[in-house]
Amino acid sequence: MGERISIKTPDGDFSAYVARPAAATAPAVVVIQEIFGVNQVMRDITDGLAAQGYLAICPDLFWRIEPDIDITDQSEAEWKKAFELFNAFDTDLGVKDLQATITAIRADAGSTGKVGSVGFCLGGKLAFLTATRTDVDAAVSYYGVGIENLVGEAEKLTRPLLMHIAEEDAFVPKEAQAIIVKALKDHPQVEIHTYPGRDHAFARVGGEHYHAGDATTAGERTLAFFKRTVG
C-alpha cells in the first residue's frame, strides 16, 4: 500500500504517490503518468516496481491544471477530459516538476541516490525529456507521443535511455517513428525496441490495445535496464 507525499516547488506544492520496497534503502524510479492522471493503472505500476525492489514515486503532473486527477480510459467522457488535460498541459513546467520529484526522492531516507524514470504516452515523451533536461540517471519511454518533434535534444542526452515503440501506434504514426528511430538508433546511450502489430498503450492493463505477451517482454526489458543503470 502506497503513501502520499508533498513535493515543494517555487510555484506551489503538489502530491505524489510513493510505494516503498522491503529493503531499507533502494534505487528510486519516477513513474510518469499517462493522460489519465495518477490513476489505478499508474499506482499499480508504482506498486509493482516497489515489489521488484525499487523506491517508486508517481507525481501528480496535472496539479497546475487540476490536482488529483484520477480517471480511466473506459468512457467517452473520461477520454474527452483526458485530452482536455493533455492540451492544457505545459511540457516545460512538467519537466521542472519532474526534476523536483527526482530531487525529492533522491534525498529520501530510503533512497540510495540513484534515480530512474519510466513514462507512458504523455509520460513517454516526458521520460525522454528527463534524459535530456534533468539529472535522472536513466530513463525508459513507452510509446511517447511527440518525441519526433524533440529529437534535436538528443545532443544533450548523456544518460541511458530505453525506448519501447509500438509499430502500429495510432498516436505516433510510422512517419514519426521513422524520424525517432533515424535520429536515435546510433546514439550510444539509446536502446530502442519496436513491437510489430502493437498499437498505442499495449502495456496498459485493461486497455483496448493491451497485449500481455509484449507488455511482459517490455516490462522484463525495463527491469533489466534499470538493474544495469540504477541498481
Q: Which of 47, 97, 199, 200 is catalytic?
A: 200
CA distances from residue 136 to 30, 39, 186 in whole angstroms, order as listed: 9, 24, 21
Cell 516547488 maps to which residue?
9
The closest alpha carbon to 49, from 15, 21, 22, belongs to: 21
Q: Which of 47, 108, 137, 169 is catalytic?
A: 169
Cell 521488484 maps to which residue?
52
Is residue 169 among the annotated active site residues? yes
C-alpha cell at 38: 495518477
The closest alpha carbon to 75, from 122, 39, 109, belongs to: 39
In angstroms, the CA 73 to CA 227 distance is 31
Is residue 200 among the annotated active site residues? yes
Q: Which residues are catalytic?
A: 169, 200
